[in-house]
Amino acid sequence: AQSVTQLGSHVSVSEGALVLLRCNYSSSVPPYLFWYVQYPNQGLQLLLKYTSAATLVKGINGFEAEFKKSETSFHLTKPSAHMSDAAEYFCAVSPRAAGNKLTFGGGTRVLVKP
């Protein structure tokens, strides 16, 4: 069975500082990996996904994530935080087979300080 662990349920960063959100997965084979963002009272929006091409994946809003098989990690970063990045972020995994369900991590809430 797959699982996802997000280290840190809350992260506080200053505006302009690096954003780093950690995600580790457990799977017998490298899965598909996703990062979603959720703003208050909204649904989830896909930030980026890893599906087996380049290990460094660039997403929307300046975010990127690097797939590291040896570390079973898919950490999300953004070089410079903006106030609008305040939201909840979910890492998710899915088996490499069509139509399979997502397994979500517990989420990390990001607070951006002026």
Partner 1 sequence: DAMVIQNPRYQVTQFGKPVTLSCSQTLNHNVMYWYQQKSSQAPKLLFHYYDKDFNNEADTPDNFQSRRPNTSFCFLDIRSPGLGDAAMYLCATQTGGTYNEQFFGPGTRLTVL
Binding residues (CB under 8 A) for partner 1: these are: 9, 32, 34, 36, 41-46, 49, 51, 90, 94-95, 98-102, 104-107, 109
Minimum CB distance to partner 1, residue 17 (Å): 24
User: For residues 29 and 98, which CB has a smaller minimum distance to partner 1 in the complex?
Assistant: 98
Contact 76, 89 (CB under 8 A): yes
User: For residues 22 and 49, which CB has a smaller minimum distance to partner 1 in the complex?
Assistant: 49
User: For residues 83 and 98, which CB has a smaller minimum distance to partner 1 in the complex?
Assistant: 98
